[in-house]
Structure 1
Amino acid sequence: RLFNKRVFCVVCCDLRFRLTHLGGKEGRVCVTCHSTLINRGYLKEQYYHNCHTDINSLVVPLRTLRKEQKKVWFADSVLPRNEASSVNTSPTRRDSSQTHPPTAAQVESTHVSVRFSFLLIPKGWELKQMHWCCVDYTVEEKRTESSLLEELEQGLTEPLVFVLNANLLAMVKIVSYMNRRCWCVMSKGMHAVGQPEVVVLLQCLPEEKRFPTDIFSHFIQIYWDAQTAGKLLNHLSHSSAARGFLGGSEHAGFLYVRPTFQSLDGLPLPPQPFLFGLLVLRAELPWARAFPLRLLLRLGAEYRFYPCPLFSVRFREPLFGQIRNSIMRLLVDFRFYRYTLPVVTGMMVDLEARSTFITIPKTRHAELLKVLNRSIERVLAMAACFNERADSHLICVQTADGEYQTQAISIHSQPRRVTGSCFFVFSGSLKASSGYLAKSSIVEDGLMVQVTMETMLELRRALRDMRDFTLTCGKLHQSDRQEYVHIRWQDEEPCFNKGIISPIDGKSMESITCVKTCQRLEYRATGKVIRWTEVFFLQKEKQVNGHSRDANQKRLTEQFARAFCLTLCQSLCLLKEDGMSKLGLRITLDGQKFLAGSNGQCLPEHYQDSLKQALMAVVQSASQYCQHTSLQFELIFYILEDIL
């Protein structure tokens, strides 16, 4: 029974808000909670609203700083009305920080004081506190969209820069790529939340006179999801967009890919890591979610680029229609996506003359065991990774009548020797009386192998024991027509972290294990935030007791990260002004060596001395674990503007 309570139905009260505990998804909230969430400074809805308005009310254009200008000071960090400000040097999630702009005596004569346009501020908000920082750009006064387009048409050497928030920029340039006139829109600032930068090449429409501002709003969405919910986009990930995205009701979002064989000549690119976003239509969205490699290769066949184009075309015809009689309907739940084809990182399938090779990295044995434990006894199906060593790849094409056909796409002007496959299926449905040792066939863009139940059990034992295994396919007593399927374990796995270097000394991080931090470890002080984003394990002990060892390493790296942040907390403004917004800390426990740096150089000596004292205290407190260990790792941090 309710006393003095009023219950509202969904028709009368249907307020919703994106909630962190729901992973950034919208949830129903009451009127009081909705008002509280708005007033506490959750900026996303306000930013997202601005992204659908005219470009002049969305962003402030920036121009590259002239050589004679050494530094530029500008004000940012928009805070909500009635937001309490306090200096806090403890790890927080939503607290704002208060700082004071430098006095006239503190600002050198070469510094130019400028202010963000109030058009950046959502409705109902006001500029409450001035935050000052040094950047390599100077803010221009409000410009018309037509004047900005004229500058782009003139072929500027440097991209136009737009402010999406105090920590996120969008770089825009019109380029000629593969004889196509394209918008090149790339982000700058995603790395600070652990997210690879995003590049979108969008083919221009005839006589187009508007900026593709929907891409700006999508960048803000990606940034917000990474910062608040920890949702990070990687190779073959996808992001969804509302109807009407980029002017088309069928535009559904982007599929993200790493460039491999494609040309990057003439493109202004961000530092590694970065991803290219390929526009996906609504009819193609199920494949982007469940089996993205099929969609990627089908795009390559459509535009004759191997393995796929890097540009997107609006208002094109969908490459896939309604899902009909595909083998994927048996392997993937296209309705609720409760199950799909599992993928083991680095596993590839090569088709050669009368031989098929399934290659699995030894370091991924634990992942394979999980797949074996979850699969049914009679069927083993897995998706493969794109094979950069292959010169061609199987693709699946859906015809006008809805049927699926097998084709192949290859590198231009190269003979086909090794053909990659998108998946494999081992089925234990073959009867011993059939007269076949095993049957292998190509189904759509994958490999189907039928074996007896006894062979299936033997195959599973070999995979669990990490042993090489060979299957002979064909009829008995016909060795001249037999084919072979080889399962091989390899010591090396494909290269990753390509192009990533250490901020300390430029050391290459290629093929070094990197772990993104799950928890948001942030410290706020003087209007800045220092954030720990990832850890690279340069040297790792052989795991005797895997779970406990990983847990100890996780706790240890977190303790070092906290000590690093607390030590530098009061110097964040100075570090940011000196251009040291990305910091690295390399720790070698065997010998107790510590090295911190930024921009390829070590930090000044007074920082090093303070850090050494704080880090030695961590070593002493964790001496039980640190003793007799050869662990070496590098922590990555970013200094940001405190905008929440």
Structure 2
Amino acid sequence: MFVAACILPCYAEQERKESRRGNVVGNLGHSFFSQSFLNSKEHGGFLYVTPAYQSLQDLVLPTPPYLFGILIQKWETPWAKVFPIRLMLRLGAEYRLYPCPLFSVRFRKPLFGETGHTIMNLLADFRNYQYTLPVVQGLVVDMEVRKTSIKIPSNRYNEMMKAMNKSNEHVLAGGACFNERADSHLVCVQNDDGNYQTQAISIHNQPRKVTGASFFVFSGALKSSSGYLAKSSIVEDGVMVQITAENMDSLRQALREMKDFTVPCGKMDAEEPQEHVHIQWVDDDKDFNKGVVSPIDGKSMESITSVKIFHGSEYKANGKVIRWTEVFFLENDEQHNDLSDPADHSRLTENVAKAFCLALCPHLKLLKEDGMTKLGLRVTLDADQVGYQAGSNGQPLPSQYMNDLDSALVPVIHGGACQLSEGPVIMELIFYILENIS
């Protein structure tokens, strides 16, 4: 039986409670059941995915961003915890949909059983879940003929250093993100006898030129006497590169200095290397906030940095709640956005959010009745310009609300302008009006 890949109402309330505690899910996140669900004790929970190449035609979709929740079996939950991209792609291979289906199948056979002998036993903790393979956001692995490229976004340097510093000095391993630039991807399949095999899944009717991999491992245990420069091989749904201890030291130093590094693979006495493995620093990762637009004027928020607010301003009136949920930091290419101190920045955004909520408290019922449940407040602090814009549904808020907003916001914003060391600072705060169910 097929069910839509969504969270059913009986489970959605549990998710709302978790989000209020600051426990939210993103792409390849998960949530698990503590009891029988949909008349089965074998249903383990949901794996959440962002759509990529799947057709969304004729689907009724919410405003971005959104996720699809795919029902998974209890035997599959360890992979959802430890290495979710493997489970996602395995689902895709099972139903021949790239990279995975956006529907769920109840009572199906689990795609994985006992963990058994997998390289992941060496890289992640399947017993206590104390550690797992680090994933650097935006990092991808491209496999082409005689060439493998590990591409690291330049703005993820700190994440890469954190992963490297936590790794064993003889082994450097990391998980990769789903590679949207690839036309195919390695898939790990566990067969009936428990062994793991490598397959591939590709975009329908498209030739395979670039294949993505889900992880990489550099092992520094290769002996110089082996007769090999280095060895590269596909292991399950990833790439393993065996190099010498000297080469491992050079690789780590190159990463610290943010330099590209190439590993020639093959026999030392060969006329030319069998393959090259490249570690490359590439353009900044801007693959976030896809499809998100400002409620003020419809401005695209794609690739604009934002911070989720879990315990921010929240005020109740007339059976409604207004809650501050997120702040976007709009970049200016010509100038550096900064306040004199990060704490001042945090304090200013909190004060602005509080003033906005208090000003609109008397109007929450009317705003909600008029369909203005998602609100935006864009604040500009500059030596030449200080002001704000407020709106909903792509339009400015009606004039009837502006007197209260001016009285509450103008003093706070002008006070914040005095804290500027460099400018301008442009930020957009997002608010939601909800029913007060407490």
With normalisation by structure 1, the TM-score equals 0.65
1:518 to partner: Cα distance: 3.2
1:625–1:289 distance in 2 versus 1, CA, 3 Å: same
Alignment match, 1:339: 131
CA distance in 2, matches of 1:438, 1:543: 46
Whether 1:223 aligns to 2:16 is yes
- Which deviations, in whole Å up to 9, do the C-alpha atoms of 1:399-452 show, x marking residues without a partner? 111111111111111111000000001111111222222111111100101111
> Is there any run of 5+ residues in structure 1 with no aligned partner, and where?
1-180, 186-198, 201-214
SS across alignment from 1:519 = coil
CA contact (8 A) 2:43 2:73 kept: yes
Alignment of 1:125-204 (within 5 A): 183-184=3-4, 199=6
1:596 pairs with one of 390, 408, 415: 390
State the Cα RMSD in Å. Answer: 2.1
Equivalence for 2:423: 629
Matched with 2:27 is: 235
With over 3 angstroms needed to count, the CA separation of the structure-2 counterparts of 1:446 and 1:284, relative to structure 1, is same
CA offsets per residue over residues 532-569 of structure 1, 9 Å max, x none? 00011111699999998544332221121111112222
1:252 aligns with 2:44: yes
- Residue number in structure 2 paired with 1:454: 246
1:610 to partner: Cα distance: 3.3
Q: 1:542 to 1:380 in 2, by over 3 A?
A: farther
Alpha-carbon distance in 2 for matches of 1:576, 1:316: 42
Alpha-carbon distance between aligned partners in 1 of 2:203 and 2:139, rounded to the nearest angstrom: 21
Q: Answer yes or no: is 1:399 the counterpart of 2:191.
A: yes
The aligned length equals: 436
Q: Which residue of 2 aligns with 1:278?
A: 70
The answer as to whether partners of 2:339 and 2:420 remain within 8 angstroms in 1 is: no
Q: Counterparts of 1:217 and 1:548 in 2: how far apart (Å)?
A: 47
1:289 aligns with 2:81: yes
Check 1:403–1:528 CA distance in 2 against 1; reply closer, same or farther (3 A cut). same
Q: CA deviation at 1:243?
A: 3.8
Q: Is the 8 A contact 2:339 2:345 kept in 1?
A: no
**Contact 1:243 1:251 (C-alpha < 8 Å) held by counterparts:** no
Q: Aligned partners of 2:349 and 2:94: how far apart in 1?
A: 47
Change in 2 beyond 3 A, CA 1:497/1:331: same
For the residues of structure 1 that align with 2:340 and 2:184, how far apart are their CA atoms? 43
2:345 to 553, 558, 563: 553
Match of 2:402 in 1: 608
Q: Which residue, out of 485, 493, 500, partners 2:292?
A: 500
| Structure ID, larger Rg | 1
Q: Percent identity?
A: 58
Contact kept? 2:324, 2:353, Cα under 8 Å: yes
SS in 1 for 2:186: strand
CA contact (8 A) 1:392 1:420 kept: yes
Q: Which residue of structure 2 aligns with residue 261 of structure 1? A: 53
CA contact (8 A) 2:264 2:273 kept: no
Q: Which residue of 2 aligns with 1:570?
A: 362
Matched, 1:376 2:168: yes
Summarize the Cα distance change of 1:312–1:183 in structure 2 as closer, same or farther, 3 Å threshold.
Answer: closer
Hey, what does 1:619 align to over in structure 2? 413
Compared CA separation, residues 441 and 183, structure 1 to 2 (3 A): closer
Does the aligned pair in 2 maintain the 1:594–1:612 contact within 8 Å? no
Structure 1 residues 615, 547: closer, same or farther in 2, change over 3 A?
A: closer
Partner of 1:97: none
Q: Does 1:639 align with 2:429?
A: no
> Is the 8 Å Cα contact of residues 335 and 423 (structure 2) preserved in structure 1?
no
Cα shift at 1:219: 1.0
Is 2:354 the partner of 1:525? no
Which letter does structure 2 place at the counterpart of 1:638? Answer: Y
Residues 338 and 423 in structure 2, CA contact (< 8 A), matched pair in contact too: no
Q: CA contact under 8 A between 1:258 and 1:274: conserved in structure 2?
A: yes
CA contact (8 A) 1:379 1:428 kept: yes
Q: Deviations over 1:170-195 (max 9, x none)?
A: xxxxxxxxxxx85547xxxxxxxxxx
- Deviations along 1:358-389, one digit per CA (max 9) or x if unpaired, are 11111111111111221121111100000011
Where do 1:62-101 residues align within 5 Å?
A: none
Task: Specify the code of the residue in structure 2 equivalent to 1:611.
Answer: L
Q: Does 1:355 align with 2:152?
A: no
* TM-superposed deviation, 1:607: 2.6
Task: Identify the residue that residue 235 of structure 2 maps to in structure 1.
Answer: 443
CA contact (8 A) 1:354 1:482 kept: yes
Conserved? CA contact 2:146–2:274, under 8 Å: yes
Q: Is the 8 A contact 1:532 1:636 kept in 2?
A: yes
Cα distance in 2 for residues equivalent to 1:545 and 1:433: 54
Q: Which amino acid letter does the alignment assign opposite residue 401 of structure 2?
A: Y
Distance (whole Å) between structure 2 residues aligned to residue 476 and residue 353 of structure 1: 20
Q: Secondary structure at the match of 1:274?
A: coil
AA aligned opposite 2:9: F
Question: Residue type of the partner of 1:631?
Answer: V
Q: Report if aligned partners of 2:340, 2:420 keep a CA contact under 8 Å in 1.
A: no
Distance 1:321 1:250, change over 3 A: same
Q: Quote the offset at 1:463 in angstroms.
A: 1.1
Does structure 1 conserve the Cα–Cα contact (< 8 Å) formed by 2:4 and 2:104?
A: no
1:490 counterpart = 2:307: no
1:258 positional shift: 0.8
> Partner of 2:117: helix, strand, or coil?
coil
Deviation at 1:250, TM superposition (A): 0.8
Which consecutive residues of structure 2, in runs of 5 or more, have no partner in the other structure?
Answer: none
* Residues 4, 102 of structure 2: 8 Å contact kept: no
